[in-house]
Each structure stands twice: as structure tokens, then as C-alpha cells.
Amino acid sequence: VDGALLKAVERGDWVLLENANLCSPTVLDRLNPLLEPEGTLLVNECGFLPNGESRIVKAHEGFRLFLAVDPKRGEVSRAMRNRGVEVFLHPKRYESSSSSNDNERTSLFS
């Protein structure tokens, strides 16, 4: 039975892995070939196919994988980072508005 990741890979869905840096590096490294052009994933956990070969899942062209990490809790491997685009978001800063009461806050982005 295929899990959510394999189904997404085959259908071209988008997947968000939150706190990816808390995942075992070995598990994330298994995903590296999937993120290459014409990406594939070797799925040997399900045993061999009737022809004696391992199952290889080819990524649908619409498949996207997003990794969300908290840098305070570690990083992902350089190999994984090289296969994507890194985006850093500053934490929100809040400032009290003079026209509002003390319980309300206005969001400001840097």
C-alpha cells in the first residue's frame, strides 16, 4: 500500500515536510534522487516486482517537495540544500498602534 508521499510523487501533488531537519538524515538522503531532473525513487521496501526488479517510481512533472526547517534545531544536508531554493523569512515584528488598545497589535514586515 502506497503512502502519501508515493501517491503525491505519482500524481504530481505538492508535499510540505514540516520540521524536516528533525528527520533522520538517512531518510532525507533517500529523497535526493527524487529531486534530480527526471527524478526517481527506488522503493525496495515493498519487495521485488514479479520480474525480479525493484520498484522505481518516476516523479510526475508537477510534483513539488517543500522542506520547512527551524534553523535553531539543526539543518538538512548540503546535498539536499543543493537540490532546492532556500528562502529565509524574518520573524514578524509587532508594534503597538497608537490608535488601538494595548491588546491589539499591528503586523509589520521587514
Per-position pLDDT tens, the chain of length 110: 789 999 999 999 999 999 999 999 898 999 999 999 999 999 988 777 788 888 899 999 999 999 999 888 988 888 888 888 988 887 777 665 555 444 444 444 43
Does the reported pTM lie above 0.75?
no
Q: What's the residue count for the chain? A: 110
Selection from 32, 34, 67, 45 nearest residue 1 by Cα: 45
Task: Give the CA angle between residues 4, 67, 20 to the nearest 5°.
Answer: 85
- What distance, in Å, lies between the first and last C-alpha atoms of the chain? 46
Instruction: Give the whole-angstrom CA distance, residue 83 versus residue 95.
Output: 37
Q: How far is it, in rounded angstroms, from Cα 88 to Cα 74?
A: 15
